Amino acid sequence: MAYVKEDHPQFIILDEIQTLLKKYGQVQVEKELGSIGVLLTEQKNPKNKEITLLEAAKHFLEDEFSTYQSISPSSQSSYKSETRSFCKYFGVNIDKNLSTDVLLKEVLTPEKLEAYIQQPDIAEATRRKKAAFLRTFVDSVARDLLSEKKINQLNKRALHLKPPDPQPPRAFTAEQIDYLLNLSRLTRCALRNYTILWTLVGTGIRVDELHFQMGDVNLEKGWIKVKAKGRKERAKVKRFMTKGAIKAMKYYVNFTYSHLKNVLSETDYNRLYVFSDDNGKHALSNRAIQKMVRGLIDKAIEDKVIQDKVWDSDRGEEVKVNYSTHSFRHSFAVYALESGMNIYMIKELLGHKSIGSTEVYLDLFDEQYQKAMDKHPFAQLEIDQLKHLGVDV
């Protein structure tokens, strides 16, 4: 029996290859096929590798198998702008097809790429953006021009930037937590959202540890069992709760699930997910929780209760602070330290494997101390006295 076109292996294989090329780009597909000894295209003659920067840019932006074709529209807009800027730096105008016959291999040197990225008056974030673009650009257009070793050298020498000093984790103040809790009471599923916030700040657990079930809750002893990060097969471990979290959880559980206790078997009741959108059948997703918390934080920023930018003295500029569900975990740790709790006990409460992970909160604790000292009655007195002496404060 003759094949119809749709059933013929030739056309099935071609369709699947086209799908892979559109999704991942020619470079990635060729790389993976090459790793198993299959070549998608013929090896080009090394003698025919003299292409101009303009030709390379056009290939990057227009070739149907280019990596550029597989990225999102917003990323395409950004990469096109970066391509334009890079070419312009070397006297090539891609919009008007104006070229000074600059060869691609002439600009792909560590010295020239580094000079481009390290131009004066460019912000650090912009340098990183340019370096990220060039890593993709070089990988896309220079595979037939440069050896794998040469491309790796460019990436390491010129296109690798030291990561900035990480911002310390940011905790909410007690006033900010109170404000967020009050805001949560105005949302859809207010009681559930209110209890989620109390659970986060009253246990220090991570957002993906909120997927516990009724059988994991022991309100009499004040703990819940969660699938802990880094444990074998995510084994369940105890996380203790503050009195406020216990009280909120008890009210929520009674209000939400008490009517099911006499309807379901004990086994089925214990399998219900505490935080759910369908009466306990499935756990509320991380994304849904993060979206809810993000909305509350954005509202608090809009109301000027939370400031999302802080001054970074190391960088000499304001930096954006990304508050999130994890900020409740930071808050739990900071205020545990403030209450005088031993750092090793906090390590166990947070489920850290290493004390080093917990010690990062000591920096935040120092910051809390400094803020408290600045509010000390003698602080203003000292400033006034120094002003009398003519000291610039």
What's the pLDDT score for residue 240?
92
The domains of the chain, with CATH numbers, are 1-39 (no CATH), 49-163 (1.10.150), 174-302 (1.10.443.10), 309-388 (no CATH)
- Of 28 and 117, more confident: 117
Q: Which of 54-63, 205-214, 365-374 has the highest mean pLDDT?
A: 205-214
135: its two tokens: 């890593």
Contacts of 89 (CB under 8 A, 6+ apart): 116
- What is the C-alpha R_g of the chain? 29
- Write the burial class of residue 342 (CB in 10 Å: 0-12 exposed, 13-18 middle, 19+ buried): exposed
In the predicted model, what is the mean pLDDT of the chain? 80
Is 86 in contact with 134 (CB distance < 8 Å)? yes
Q: Is the pLDDT of residue 286 over 90?
A: yes
- Our measurement of the distance from residue 46's CA atom to the centroid of its chain's CA atoms, rounded to an integer in Å, reads 41
Report how far apart, in Å, the C-alpha atoms of 336 and of each of 48, 68, 169 are: 67, 49, 15
Mean pLDDT of 192-210: 94
68 exposure class (CB count in 10 Å sphere: 0-12, 13-18, 19+): buried
Nearest to 144 by CA among 51, 63, 269, 249: 51
Per-residue model confidence (pLDDT) at position 59: 86
Stated length of the chain: 393
358 or 79, which is more confident: 79
The Cα–Cα gap between 180 and 51 comes to 58
What CA–CA distance (Å, rounded) separates 305 from 180? 9
pLDDT tens column, 58-87: 888 888 878 888 877 777 888 899 999 999
pLDDT tens-digit profile of 246-283? Answer: 999 999 999 999 999 989 999 999 999 999 999 999 99
Between 73 and 241, where is the model more confident? Answer: 241
Asked if residue 43 lies in contact with residue 87, where contact means CB atoms within 8 angstroms, the answer is: no
Stretch 351-366: mean pLDDT, rounded? Answer: 72
- In the numeric block, the tokens 């959202």 are attached to 193
Decide: pTM greater than 0.75: no
Determine the Cα–Cα distance for residues 145 and 154; give it in Å rounded to an integer: 13
What is the per-residue pLDDT for 40?
Answer: 55
The span from the CA of 373 to the CA of 254, in Å, is 44
Q: What is the 3-state secondary structure (H, E, C) of the chain?
A: CCCCHHHCHHHHHHHHHHHHHHHHCHHHHHHHHHHCCCCCCCCCCHHHCCCEHHHHHHHHHHCCCCHHHHCCHHHHHHHHHHHHHHHHHCCCECCCCECCCCEHHHHCCHHHHHHHHCCCCCCHHHHHHHHHHHHHHHHHHCCCCCCHHHHHHHHHHCCCCCCCCCCCCCCCCHHHHHHHHHHHCCCCCHHHHHHHHHHHHHHCCCHHHCCCEHHHEECCCCEEEEECCCCHHHCEEEEECCHHHHHHHHHHHHHHHHHHHCCCCHHHHHCCECCECCCCCCECCHHHHHHHHHHHHHHHHHCCCCCCEEEECCCCEEEECCCCCHHHHHHHHHHHHHCCCCHHHHHHHHCCCCHHHHHHHHHHHHHHHHHHHHCCHHHHHHHHHHHHCCCCC
- CA 18 – CA 14 distance, rounded (Å): 6
pLDDT at 21: 72
Q: pLDDT (tens digit, 9 = 90+) per residue, 86-112?
A: 999 988 888 886 666 888 888 888 888
**Reported confidence tier of residue 2, pLDDT bands at 50, 70, 90:** very low
CA–CA dist 291, 297 (Å, integer): 10
Beta-bridged to residue 309, according to DSSP, are 320
Residue 25 dihedral angles phi and psi, to the nearest 5°: 90, 155
pLDDT tens digits along 34-59:
666 665 554 443 444 578 888 888 88
